[in-house]
Amino acid sequence: MHSPVGRRLPAYSTALGRAILAEHPADVREALVPDAIDPITTHTVTERDAVLAIIDKAADLGYAAESDESCIGVRCFGVALPFARPAIDGLSVAVPMSRLDGAREDFIIETLLSVKARLSMEFAHSVR
């Protein structure tokens, strides 16, 4: 996996971006996903309705995931962080798919959601 410093990818095509977009109201999400989506890899979801459905699912789950869409051979997981509403910060984990099994995937997701929950509690207490 190679990701140069400063590389920018469209939010609607990455796990982290989708997790952050999922924190926005549905009408805002729709405005942020273009009609024409250029693929980053051959696995990038390019159908707008499918991308919006993925983002809707991330809103329900509290995290987003993608495989091979922004980097071949890598599965990514992302959560939005609670420091602003809608979210502008997030946390993600990228894992080579060759090292990923169901148990490790579950552990990563549980850990990300746990960190998100802890930060939400800490942030809520610090704002008072």
* 59: its two tokens: 């809103």
What pLDDT does residue 84 have?
86
What pLDDT does residue 127 have?
55
Instruction: List, in order of start, the domains of the chain with CATH numbers.
Output: 11-127 (3.30.450.40)
* CA 17 to the chain's CA centroid: 5
What pLDDT does residue 86 have?
85
Report d(CA 111, CA 92) in Å as an integer.
11
This prediction has a pTM of 0.89
What pLDDT does residue 2 have?
63
**Phi, psi (degrees; rounded to nearest 5) at 119:** -65, -35
* 118: its two tokens: 């802890």
The answer to whether 76 touches 70, Cβ cutoff 8 Å, is: yes
Q: What is the pLDDT along the chain (128 residues), one digit of tens a residue?
A: 666 777 789 999 999 999 999 999 999 999 999 999 999 999 999 999 999 999 999 999 999 999 999 999 999 999 999 888 888 999 999 999 999 999 999 999 999 999 999 998 887 766 55
Amino acid at 96: P
Contacts with 40 (C-beta within 8 Å, 6 or more apart), sequence order: 9, 10, 13, 69, 70
The runs of H, that is alpha helices, within the chain are 15-21, 26-32, 48-61, 102-127
What pLDDT does residue 101 have?
92
Which residue, among 68, 59, 2, 70, has the nearest Cα to 30 in the 3D structure?
59
What pLDDT does residue 74 have?
94
